[in-house]
Amino acid sequence: MPRWSATVLVYVDESGDPGFDIERGSTPLFVVTAAVFRTEDAADACRDRIKAIRGELKLPATAEFKFSKSSNRVREYFLNAVAAHDFFYMSAVFDKRKLAVPDLRIKKAFYQYVIGFAFELLKPHIEDAFLEIDRGGGEEFGRHLTRHIAEISKEASGKRTVKRSKLSDSSGNDLIQLADMICGAVMRSFKGDDRFRLLVKRREFEVRAWP
């Protein structure tokens, strides 16, 4: 996969929670997914396709695609449709049962750790990127997260891999919804059901599990 000098658009979402009390309901896995478009035209085309999917499924124009709340029929239709578009995705999968680091039990520290790890996977393949992150982690935390990404994206030359990052509400951002749906498919595959991930497999660049 080449490193592009043109604008790259990156949309990030996560699946799972930062808790470590697995016995009381915390998710054992946490997944971060980035959906990456090499051009604005490619992003616009995929965005238009997602809008059309709502009509094809007879959903309200404001319906939000979330993997956890969608039926299998909607999941399959959505992933089949978007797989024809020009983007790639990368996911980092964390098994919290194997992360024996006490400091990571602090929510902020855990998010910084996983985003840092995920971004290091993505960093060699982007340049001058515009990055949008789901606001779901909370406004205060989200501001801290965007600052953290700005810091770790600096190149030794002074250039930045990420030109700008911002928080967006997933309810009004179709391409963050795309990242959500793929993230959920990757999460489900690590639970033994890979049928949804297979639908969009041709857009997969890398999925790395840690530790």
> Contact at 8 Å (CB) between 161 and 38?
no
- Look over the chain and give the mean of its residue pLDDT values, rounded to a whole number: 89
Mean pLDDT score, 131-139: 75
Q: What is the pLDDT of residue 3?
A: 43
For 141-195, write each residue's pLDDT tens digit. 666 677 777 777 766 666 678 888 888 999 999 999 999 999 999 999 999 999 9
Question: Collapsing DSSP states into helix, strand and coil, what is residue 56?
Answer: helix
Domain residue spans in the chain? 8-210
Q: What percent of the chain has pLDDT over 90?
A: 61
For 23-82, write each residue's pLDDT tens digit. 999 999 999 999 999 999 999 999 999 999 999 999 999 999 999 999 999 999 999 999
Q: How confident is the model at residue 115 (pLDDT cuts 50, 70, 90)?
A: confident
Whether CATH 2.40.70.10 fits 8-210 = no
Mean pLDDT score, 112-117: 83
